[in-house]
């Protein structure tokens, strides 16, 4: 089961429905920030299970009762919720969470039965954490640690975090050297740097002045440096604005993000470029829409 789960989640990027906006790194990080402090040190009293997601939890829900929740962590678009001090010492570990294409985590004070799209709830002495996912592409799976399967297999192929100080334009240039793959798709692959989902890859390429169809292997180190700086700027701004709420995303307290109103090119096909007034264009790359300005972004 773990092997099939890993293949499915890692392959989610190739899903034909993935052109729909989904929670990207800023939205997942904002979710983490919203739950980390309130739940750090909380005691897990019970687990509510609703309609199953595509994969089972991987542990009996009763085995989690009495666990102490640790500080929520993030790796790429995954959240890790450590659980310790269990009555069964052999069950120590945590839950690896993925929001899929439409999922969200929310804190509330209730214990009512779960709704049609609510699949998991952790009832604690500080409130309830509920995973909602209308399309059921998300996941909540138990792992003994981040170094054990299934967490290990899910995370081992991820590239560097975008704000990792060791990451540089030279890193991108070396990793992409000789690749004919379009730079937009190379960014989305996530094997060199994580966090550049569809929205933010489009935005970063615009700010860096790079056409999304440019082969990644043709970029000089200087252009890679410019692209990395642009990606960091875009992600930083999105974090400040609460992420993007194009469809389903809300933070852990039910608040919409506001980045979408500031987008340079994403979702603006036919509208004038905010810099040069040239109409923004749209092209499809790997079943996803790319938005760019033909004047500001040349190959």
Q: Give the pair of three-digit tokens for residue 227.
A: 């692209």
Q: Do 100 and 149 touch, CB atoms closer than 8 A?
A: no
Sheet strands (E) in 133-280: 139-143
CB under 8 Å to 61, separation ≥6 — which residues? 46, 47, 49
163 DSSP assignment: T
Provide the percentage of residues in the chain whose pLDDT is more than 70. Answer: 85
Task: Evaluate if residue 142 carries a pLDDT over 90.
Answer: yes
* Catalytic entry in 77, 128, 223, 226: 77
| Catalytic status, residue 153 | no
Domains of the chain: residue spans and CATH: 2-155 (3.20.190.10), 169-292 (1.10.8.50)
Mean pLDDT over each residue of the chain, to the nearest integer: 86
Three-class SS state of 124: strand
Q: Which of the residues 74, 173, 184, 288 is marked catalytic? A: 288
Output the pLDDT for position 253.
44
Mean pLDDT, range 158-180, rounded to an integer: 96
Among 55-64, 188-197, 236-245, where is mean pLDDT lowest? 236-245
Sheet containing 44-49: order of strands: 44-49, 118-124, 127-132, 104-108
**Which pLDDT score is estimated for 285?**
95
The residue ranking higher by pLDDT, 233 or 259, is 233
Which of 24, 27, 29, 225 is labelled catalytic?
A: 24
The reported pLDDT for the residue numbered 243 is 66
Find the mean pLDDT for residues 242-253: 50
Q: Where does the pLDDT of residue 32 fall: very low under 50, low under 70, confident under 90, or very high at 90 and above?
A: very high
Distance from C-alpha of 32 to C-alpha of 40, rounded to nearest angstrom: 11
The radius of gyration of the chain's CA atoms, rounded to the nearest angstrom, is 20
* Residue 135: per-residue pLDDT: 84
Report residue 109's pLDDT band, with 50, 70 and 90 as the boundaries: confident
Q: Grade residue 273 by pLDDT with cuts at 50, 70 and 90.
A: very high
> What is the pLDDT confidence band of residue 22, given thresholds at 50, 70 and 90?
low
What local confidence, expressed as pLDDT, does residue 87 receive?
60
Q: Which has the higher per-residue pLDDT, 53 or 21?
A: 53
Task: Indicate if 203 belongs to the active site.
Answer: no
- Greatest mean pLDDT among 34-43, 233-242, 256-265 lies in 34-43
- Is 225 among the catalytic positions? no
| Integer CA distances (angstroms), 220 to 200, 214, 228, in order | 21, 12, 12
Provide the token pair at 110.
Answer: 């209730």
Among 23, 82, 162, 212, which one carries the catalytic annotation? 23
Query: What b/e string do you get for 122-156 counting C-beta neighbours within 10 Å, with b at 16 or more?
Result: bbbeebbbbbbbbebbbbbbbbbebeebbbebbbe
* Per-residue pLDDT at 101: 82
Least confident of 96-110, 188-202, 245-259: 245-259
Q: Is 51 a residue of the active site?
A: no
Q: Is the pLDDT of residue 46 over 90?
A: yes
Instruction: Compute φ and ψ for 22, nearest 5 degrees.
Output: -130, 165
What separation, in Å, do the N-terminal and C-terminal C-alpha atoms of the chain show? 44
Is a pLDDT exceeding 70 seen at residue 250?
no
Tell me which of 290 and 254 has the higher pLDDT: 290
Which two tokens mark 22?
A: 């989904």
pLDDT band, very low/low/confident/very high, at 216 (cuts 50, 70, 90): very high
Confidence check: pLDDT of 264 > 60: yes
């Amino acid at each position: 089961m773990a092997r099939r789960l890993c293949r499915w989640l890692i392959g989610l990027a190739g899903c034909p429905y993935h052109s729909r906006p989904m929670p990207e790194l800023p939205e997942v990080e904002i979710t983490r920030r919203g739950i980390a402090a309130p739940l750090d040190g909380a005691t897990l009293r019970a687990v509510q299970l609703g309609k199953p997601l595509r994969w089972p939890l991987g542990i009996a829900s009763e085995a989690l009762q009495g666990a102490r929740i640790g500080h929520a962590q993030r790796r790429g678009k995954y959240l890790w919720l450590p659980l310790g001090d269990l009555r069964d010492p052999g069950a120590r570990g945590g839950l690896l969470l993925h929001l899929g294409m439409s999922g969200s985590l929310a804190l509330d004070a209730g214990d009512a039965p779960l709704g049609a799209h609510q699949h998991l709830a952790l009832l604690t002495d500080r409130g309830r954490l509920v995973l909602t996912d209308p399309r059921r592409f998300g996941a909540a799976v138990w792992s003994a640690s981040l170094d054990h399967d299934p967490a290990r297999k899910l995370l081992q192929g991820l590239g560097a975090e975008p704000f990792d100080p060791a990451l540089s334009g030279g890193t991108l240039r070396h990793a992409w050297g000789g690749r004919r793959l379009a730079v937009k798709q190379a960014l989305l692959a996530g094997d060199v740097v994580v966090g550049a989902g569809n929205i933010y890859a489009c935005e970063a390429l615009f700010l860096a002045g790079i056409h999304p169809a440019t082969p990644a292997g043709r970029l000089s180190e200087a252009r890679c440096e410019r692209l990395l700086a642009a990606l960091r700027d875009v992600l930083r701004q999105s974090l400040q604005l609460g992420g993007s709420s194009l469809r389903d995303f809300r933070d852990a307290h039910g608040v919409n993000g506001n980045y979408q109103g500031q987008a340079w090119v994403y979702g603006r096909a036919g509208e004038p470029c905010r810099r040069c007034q040239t109409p923004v264009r749209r092209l499809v790359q790997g079943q996803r829409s790319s938005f760019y300005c033909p004047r500001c972004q040349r190959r």
